[in-house]
Amino acid sequence: MLNDLKNPFDHDHWMNEAFREAEKAYRKDEVPVGAVIVKDKRIIARGHNSVEQLKDPTAHAEMIAITAACDTLEEKRLEGCIIYVTLEPCPMCAGAMLQARLDTCVYGTADPKAGACDSLYHLCEDPRLNHRIRVISGVREAACRELLQSYFRKKREDQVIKP
């Protein structure tokens, strides 16, 4: 569900930056997911999927951005920060976002197979946990979804061509 923060147009601006990161992943033949973390109206960290390149199943865009943001702030907590990510975070990434104490997660398109913010689970807003993250969904949804679909369509076509 799309909610407003203070200026909904800011969400498009920052999601465009996350989308640029997703395009970097696409060019590297990674699942095209990108993330940026914003504090005080400036980007403090960027990340895109690097699972194949790093041979690391934890190298999701969100995880890379969270690590970079903690390095930038020299803090383990990211209070006052917003993460913008092109795909709804998985359970691992939602858990890391909770541990980092991010304030808000804004994502582009839902992930019906692994989404942990809205689709399969509601980890970010689970009242049983000691921290909650505000979730805003659907920002630049069509573009984020199309990039992912294009990537997987290309992967399927490549499999058909190869013997």
Catalytic residues: 62
d(CA 1, CA 151): 26
Please check whether residue 135 is in contact with residue 125, taking contact to mean a CB–CB distance below 8 angstroms.
yes
CB within 8 Å of 79: residues ≥ 6 apart: 101, 102, 103
With tokens 């400036």, the residue in question is 42
Please check whether residue 49 is in contact with residue 25, taking contact to mean a CB–CB distance below 8 angstroms.
yes
d(CA 62, CA 60): 5
* Residue of 15, 9, 52 whose CA lies nearest to 35: 15
* Residue of 68, 76, 24 whose CA lies nearest to 43: 68
